Amino acid sequence: MHQDVAVSVLVVDDQRPFRMAAAAVLRRSDGFDLVGEAETGEEALEQVAALHPTLVLMDINMPGISGIEATRRIVAQSPETVVFLCSTYPLADLPGDAYTSGAAAYVNKEELAPGVLRRLWDERNGDGVLHTL
């Protein structure tokens, strides 16, 4: 393990198959612990307030408030919580407001793997820059 305390993770996605896939990646990732799931941006806000996760893996496109707007609210309300945006967008097609949402990183869902998660976590910083692979 890379640290004494596991990184607690909330997975937010309206698609159950991706939540299951993300949970499987987290189970194989030393130092990361799945603490909850949410299907909407609104539910994500409630879960962050209740669970205080260290990291949120946030889908961009969901019914209700988008993952980008949910990220903006989470970062404002819980600045100690780190958000990684996850979607199927090629990097060049990311919505412009993803870069100003306060998210620390973006990972394509198809590339989410233990090593990728660890690298993005280790390379994150509070500079307001969206980090990618």
Domain ranges, ordered by start, for the chain = 7-123
- Mean pLDDT across 2-15: 86
Q: How many CB atoms lie within 10 A of CB 47?
A: 20
Task: Look at residue 3 and tell me whether its pLDDT is greater than 60.
Answer: no
Give tens-digit pLDDT for 20-62.
999 999 999 999 999 999 999 999 999 999 999 999 999 999 9
Give tens-digit pLDDT for 74-124.
999 999 999 999 999 888 888 889 999 999 999 999 999 999 999 999 988
Find out whether 67 and 37 touch, Cβ atoms under 8 Å: no
Q: What was the pLDDT predicted at 92?
A: 84
Task: Look at residue 2 and tell me whether its pLDDT is greater than 60.
Answer: no
- The CATH fold assigned to 7-123 is Rossmann fold (3.40.50)
pTM of the complete model:
0.92
Termini Cα distance of the chain = 22
Would you state the torsion angle of the CA atoms of residues 58, 20, 26, 104, taken in this order, to the nearest 10 degrees? Answer: -10
